[in-house]
Structure 1
């Protein structure tokens, strides 16, 4: 039932009387307000109000008036949300995650404040009031039932928290979202606040502990806007040779862990970050002998959908469906079956450390770089420029049964080594990183001292062009510094500085001693 009109979408008499244009609804949002918007990794974000709001902002700026907002979401949105608001110079501050080029440019130019944080923390910190009052929430839904219950769309994210915390609410009812999504969601709100928080009674990836709907105080709803626009998720590139090699190393590792009795034959619940490498790993599992897999992740991508549809994966839990147009078409064509095998939850549940630790997730996330000792930078380029954000990687990595961080060994046609003496920004300390994987190989860091980790990372993960440089640095550091974690402090970040100055981390072989 995927009708592209709004018949049967707004069934509550009172809310049907509040249907208005996006322009009228956007007028409720004023300068310096804090606004919670739906959306998680390009799914379920508002489609009409951000554009209308951007026009109001541009008109105010033309009159010489200030008009910026604080913007909170679940994670990244899309050009129609983050993009248009950034282009209108309308974002004063932003949290917790973004990926829009226009906004990234403003963040790195110091024109917009951005505080990056663990996704599992956002709902509680907003509810407590760490970010100030939430003046208004703008939330996309698939439909509104006669009693006012809300059918969520392709993501939940922090929507339940925004609906609870905001003084006023605007709902976007999107006819592009299938009404057959009803029943796929599991909204659990009974956690409580410290010092009286309750355990989360979720013991399997597919367990249901809440209700299929979002609820809100209907008196807070000031407007309902009808939209008819799809989520804007691009198709991921097909896995390349590098991604396939990384995937192969991880799958070989899984085989070895099962053989040693460290994991069951159907593995443990898989958490997979966003991107081509993650999809390559999932594609590799498609062709592996592993059966009856499960997923417990924050974003369900094309690769995981394919595993479910093929029968390789029996159940998956996420907070958003971040599907390419082709995959979304397959999803909608098979939604009757899929909604029994996919559960969408609030991100406070999907990303909660308690649940990740209980289920024993296998956390596979991307990195920008790691250092010789396993510290990982997943957010900043050359230590200062934000890429996208931390996302949920920290929620899962610290609490995983096994945490993997993956990357090609080099970037920029070899001018940058993704294995460096010291990371230029720390997101995940060596204590949270168990396995590093590049196309060169896999370094299992479990049970190793820092110096042992360095040897494993250099030998298995570094690109051959950089391996002698890394070994030279490590040997000289071991000769002159403390032996627990050897570093030459005035050289530790010299590779990054060299790239900033010359465009290449490499130096001539004559400039360093190759240890024999």
Structure 2
């Protein structure tokens, strides 16, 4: 690892995670690297979990407050949650063990827009950040950190923390060096414009500068990211992708989009990957991505010459594509840029690029309000992530979803969203396998027919009955008609009978 840890002073601080865990104390606020299962620390979470078990066995309290870029993995979030080593978590998670602990009230969870957290940490909104644990591909001769497969909130955590622990992971390709673009947002009140006009603009350095005096430990690891395979593209996903492409074609026909230079943002998952597979055979060329994560479909578009640049803060790749990225990082760094999420998700840049944002949802109501986070309004799924950053500030905001879930027990279109993350003011287009609802410029009542048309046929009669009831009698002339007595019958049925159908 001598070539990976080129700074002599930091090389002298190499130790095991079991030794380094002495620097992580009960109640510490700990910021770690990691975003969508990429670039998270591999050794320290296990060590923290084991220390928590040991302390608990002695009758002692031991738990940390955990801050990340976004989701990590079962051998990070999962093992610490299982060991009751986390008392507080933010800003986004997807681990099932942690989710259950959150919903059981055992972990306090703050669901925060991803573009906001870095500044909140640096400004001390949560108090003093005690420890930053960051994975690196390499430490340079000058003691700078070359990030691994994600950047996330690393810059802010490293600047704010009292102590730094660096994991140098030899599994990560050394050829990732040069892919990162680290530009730091100046401290308040001396903000300046972020000098990005196009998705491919590089404005910063390829490494993160740190205060080496704060480094208390360096750990050597050789372990892969959490690279989960994507599910095969099914018929529903193909239909959603087809409807999304039909929408894009409509924008071209209207003169609001061209086949050359489409700028996209995409959430993570199988349906977004199906959309990108559809773009491979489309008329669109010179596609650019200004987004959060690089997925398999974007790599395919780059390989096919359809996408010229992809700017993000992290990878979210299948095992096959992660291996490919490691083997060919030197080639891909010519067209892929990894930035801090305070830049990749920044409203200013999103608005300037004129991108079309595409994200998933749990449910949308007949007026276009979207719930991205809470099942039946109360049970946290994952979090809002960066969908709010892109939805509110994109040129066009769209949401894609299958019309039903749980074998038809849940409808994605409901009378009244049980929790609202994206209001009707920000939601422009909703797409299911039954078509797309273009809500732009429509008053609330005019949206209803369009939203019901993309619902599953099994739920359309009940949705129409609800709207008819909401517009009857003295409610006929309300701006946004609701029958509050029955507005959540879909959700009540789900809780009481296991299906929204009742």
TM-score over 0.5 (shorter chain): yes
The counterpart of 1:391, out of the listed 381, 385, 393, is 385
Measured in 1, the distance between the counterparts of 2:173 and 2:328 equals 12
Alignment of 1:72-221 (within 5 A): 72-189=67-184, 191-221=185-215
Is 1:295 the equivalent of 2:311? no
* Structure-2 separation of matches of 1:334 and 1:140: 20
Partner Cα separation in structure 1 for residue 188 and residue 218 of structure 2? 34
Conserved in 1, the CA contact under 8 Å of 2:5 and 2:138?
yes
* Structure-2 separation of matches of 1:141 and 1:311: 30
Moved more, 218-227 or 283-292: 283-292
Q: 2:263 maps to which residue?
A: 269
Matched-pair contact (CA < 8 Å) for 1:254–1:267: no
Q: Which residue of 2 aligns with 1:512?
A: none
Distance 2:196 2:167 in 1: 31
Residue equivalent to 2:429: 435
Of 478, 481, 485, the residue aligned with 1:483 is 478
Q: What secondary structure is seen at the aligned counterpart in 2 of 1:334?
A: helix
Partner of 1:437, secondary structure, is strand
The answer to whether structure 1 residue 337 and structure 2 residue 354 are counterparts is no
SS of structure 1 residue aligned to 2:499: coil
Unpaired runs of at least 5, structure 2: none
Structure 1 residue runs of 4 or more that deviate by more than 4 Å after TM superposition: none
CA contact (8 A) 2:405 2:412 kept: yes
Asked if residue 379 in structure 1 is aligned to residue 379 in structure 2, the reply is no
Q: Cα offset for 1:264? A: 2.1
- Deviation of 1:498 after TM superposition, in Å, equals 1.2
- Preserved CA contact (<8 Å) 2:289 2:310: yes
**2:136 touches 2:148 (CA, 8 Å); kept in 1?**
yes
Could you tell me how far apart the structure 1 residues matched to 2:29 and 2:262 are? 40
Alignment of 1:235-314 (within 5 A): 235-314=229-308
Q: CA deviation at 1:226?
A: 0.1
Unaligned runs of 5+ residues in structure 1 are 1-5, 508-516
Equivalent pairs, count: 500
Contact 1:136 1:167 in 2 (8 A): yes
CA distance in 2, matches of 1:20, 1:333: 29
Q: Do the aligned residues in 2 keep the contact of 1:293 with 1:312 (CA within 8 Å)?
A: yes
Note the C-alpha offset of 1:195: 3.0
Maintained 8 Å contact 1:175/1:228:
yes
Deviation at 1:7, TM superposition (A): 4.0
Quick one: distance in 2 between partners of 1:504 and 1:20?
A: 53
Q: 1:27–1:53: 8 Å Cα contact kept in structure 2?
A: no
Quote the residue 1:471 is aligned against. Answer: 464
Match of 1:503 in 2: 498
CA contact (8 A) 2:172 2:326 kept: no
Residues 125-146 of structure 1, C-alpha deviation per residue, up to 9 Å, x if partnerless?
0000001110010000001111
Work out the CA distance in 2 between the residues paired with 1:84 and 1:40.
17
Residue of structure 2 in register with 1:411 after alignment: 405
**Distance across 2 between alignment mates of 1:80 and 1:437:** 35
Report the alpha carbon displacement of residue 455 of structure 1 after superposing the two structures with TM. 1.1
Aligned to 1:225: 219
Give 1:69's aligned residue. Answer: 64
Q: Which residue of 2 aligns with 1:30?
A: 25
Which residue is 1:451 aligned to? 445
Larger mean CA deviation between 401-410 and 498-507 belongs to 498-507
TM superposition score normalised by structure 2? 0.98
Quick check: 2:243–2:435 contact (8 Å CA) kept in 1? yes
Q: CA RMSD in A?
A: 0.9
How far apart, in 2, do the equivalents of 1:193 and 1:169 lie?
21
d(CA) in 1 for partners of 2:358, 2:5: 40
- Bigger mean CA deviation after superposition, 325-334 or 342-351: 325-334
Distance 1:244 1:266 in 2: 23
- The answer as to whether partners of 1:141 and 1:150 remain within 8 angstroms in 2 is yes
Conserved in 2, the CA contact under 8 Å of 1:258 and 1:267?
no
> Aligned to 2:472, what secondary structure does the other structure show?
helix
